[in-house]
């Protein structure tokens, strides 16, 4: 009998299968040479990850264990000892969610994941491949939590089809493609989100997605913009939390963001977008002080490199972010509220205490590190 393929070999096989099944795949990635370089990089990354006993993030028994596990894996291990490739992460979570491999959505998922690994001219400090990975992993975890809530017939569960789950994960992986650092200009609240969609659209079309599904991905990505659309999304999702029909005339009275009004069409659409928006800010808001400090420093460096004189490392900046960007009541999606609202409120409370009694400039974290987790990098079965 031959030796069973390794997890990294299975991922490489899946990527090659999808690429070979996609007409003009080389052109989608800048030509044969660029595609080969990306494939080689992905293969080497996954071999190293496997050899080092790499693990994938999954929820813990409560919000605080989940936060510490995320910090141990995504903030420390992945950034210090190496991460999996985006295709490996996509394949892993697709299997965990039970997504079918022979579908346009699965093909689009791997194409966008490969696109996320394409070498950029410059990679920002915060909006990097690590950020893509953070958001995708938390999105997949929230989708699984929502599925578990549905299985238990939890009253807050919002049933999502396998197709809707796949579209949500695609949006999470690709939401910041082509981000070269900084923030949206004042005159264009969708500048970076639209750049990401422009990079994704050829891949989604080549995968065979219907235009209606591409439009859903568009709305999810546009809803992550912190310059107004995110607030509209949160209020739309809040209505769903209260089992009310969203009234866009009240939520967006000046009709500034008509592109995302379709998020109110169904509870499922609002939940899909809210999960990605919540996952987008989780590392800075729900994963504990250590993660927040790391992300705040990275984003500060990125902004200042772009000539934007902002410092997000202070307790006051953290308070503003938690209260005004995430929102005082916490996350927008029902599954992320169940997963992380407790740790979010704990970070708010810790920030308030620090403001009342100034803490040292380098905040100490008292949560003990969790023991090493056995590798769960096995590839699809």
- Residue 363 confidence class, pLDDT cut points 50, 70, 90: low
Residue 121: per-residue pLDDT: 64
How far apart, in whole angstroms, are the C-alpha atoms of residue 215 and residue 211?
6
How far apart, in whole angstroms, are the C-alpha atoms of residue 345 and residue 327?
10
Instruction: Average the pLDDT over 96-125 and give the result.
Output: 92
CA–CA–CA angle 319, 323, 328 (5° rounding)? 135
- Residue 138 confidence class, pLDDT cut points 50, 70, 90: very high
Whether residue 359 has pLDDT greater than 70? no
Instruction: Report the share of the chain in percent with pLDDT over 90.
Output: 85
| Closest among 295, 15, 286, 279 to 140, alpha carbons compared | 279
Residue 377: per-residue pLDDT: 55
**Structural contact between residues 224 and 190, judged by C-beta atoms closer than 8 angstroms:** no
| Closest among 21, 41, 37 to 29, alpha carbons compared | 37
What's the predicted TM-score (pTM) here? 0.93
Higher pLDDT, 232 or 156: 232
**Structural contact between residues 175 and 193, judged by C-beta atoms closer than 8 angstroms:** yes
| 296, containing H or E segment | helix 289-305
Q: C-alpha dihedral over 173, 133, 100, 264, to 10 degrees?
A: -50
Residue 109: per-residue pLDDT: 98
Angle between helix 63-70 and helix 334-356 axes, rounded to 10 deg? 80
Instruction: Average the pLDDT over 314-341 and give the result.
Output: 95
CATH of domain 56-356: 1.10.1300.10
| Closest among 285, 373, 339 to 66, alpha carbons compared | 339
Whether residue 368 has pLDDT greater than 50? no
- Residue 242 confidence class, pLDDT cut points 50, 70, 90: confident
Residue 240: per-residue pLDDT: 77
Residue 156: per-residue pLDDT: 78
Question: Which range is least confidently modeled, 193-197, 308-312, 341-345, 367-371?
Answer: 367-371
Whether residue 354 has pLDDT greater than 70? yes
pLDDT digits (tens, 9 = 90+) for 209-230: 999 999 999 999 999 999 899 9
- Residue 367 confidence class, pLDDT cut points 50, 70, 90: very low
Place of tokens 């972010």: 321
How far apart, in whole angstroms, are the C-alpha atoms of residue 318 and residue 315?
5
**Structural contact between residues 344 and 331, judged by C-beta atoms closer than 8 angstroms:** yes
Residue 37's CB is within 10 A of a number of other CB atoms, namely 16
Please report the DSSP string for 152-209 in residue order. Answer: TT-TT-----HHHHHHHHHHHHHTTTT--SS---TT-TTHHHHHHHHHHHHHHHHHT-
SS3 for 102-147 is: CCHHHHHHHHHHHHHCCCCCCCCCCCCHHHHHHHHHHHHHHHHHHH
Domain ranges of the chain: 56-356
């Amino acid at each position: 009998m031959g030796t069973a393929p390794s997890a990294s070999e299975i991922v490489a096989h899946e990527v090659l299968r999808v690429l070979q099944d996609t007409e003009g795949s080389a052109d989608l990635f800048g030509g044969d040479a660029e595609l080969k370089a990306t494939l080689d990089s992905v293969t080497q990354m996954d071999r190293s990850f496997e050899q080092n006993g790499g693990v994938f993030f999954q929820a813990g028994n409560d919000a605080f264990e989940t936060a510490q596990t995320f910090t141990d894996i995504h903030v420390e291990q992945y950034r210090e000892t190496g991460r999996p490739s985006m295709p490996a992460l996509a394949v892993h979570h697709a299997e965990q969610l039970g997504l079918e491999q022979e579908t346009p959505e699965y093909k689009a998922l791997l194409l966008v994941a490969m696109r996320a690994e394409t070498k950029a001219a410059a990679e920002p400090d915060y909006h990097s491949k690590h950020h893509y990975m953070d958001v995708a992993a938390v999105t997949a975890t929230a989708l699984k939590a929502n599925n578990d809530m549905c299985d238990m017939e939890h009253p807050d569960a919002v049933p999502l089809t396998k197709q809707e789950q796949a579209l949500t994960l695609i949006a999470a992986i690709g939401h910041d493609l082509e981000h070269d650092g900084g923030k949206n200009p004042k005159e264009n609240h969708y500048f970076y989100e639209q750049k990401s969609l422009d990079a994704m659209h050829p891949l989604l079309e080549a995968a065979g997605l219907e235009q209606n599904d591409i439009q859903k991905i568009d709305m999810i990505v546009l809803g992550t913009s912190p310059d107004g659309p995110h607030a509209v999304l949160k209020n739309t999702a809040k209505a769903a939390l209260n089992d009310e029909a969203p009234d866009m005339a009240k939520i967006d009275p000046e009709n500034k963001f008509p592109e995302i009004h379709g998020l109110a069409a169904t509870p499922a659409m609002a939940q899909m977008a809210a999960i990605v928006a919540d996952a987008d800010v989780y590392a800075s808001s729900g994963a504990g002080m250590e993660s927040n400090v790391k992300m705040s420093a990275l984003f500060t460096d990125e902004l200042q490199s772009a000539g934007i004189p902002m410092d997000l490392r202070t307790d006051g900046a953290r308070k503003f972010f938690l209260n005004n960007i995430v929102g005082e009541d916490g996350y927008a999606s029902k599954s992320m509220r169940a997963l992380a609202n407790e740790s979010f409120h704990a970070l708010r409370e810790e920030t308030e205490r620090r403001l009342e009694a100034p803490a040292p400039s380098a905040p100490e974290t008292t949560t003990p590190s969790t023991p090493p987790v056995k590798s769960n990098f096995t590839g699809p079965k």
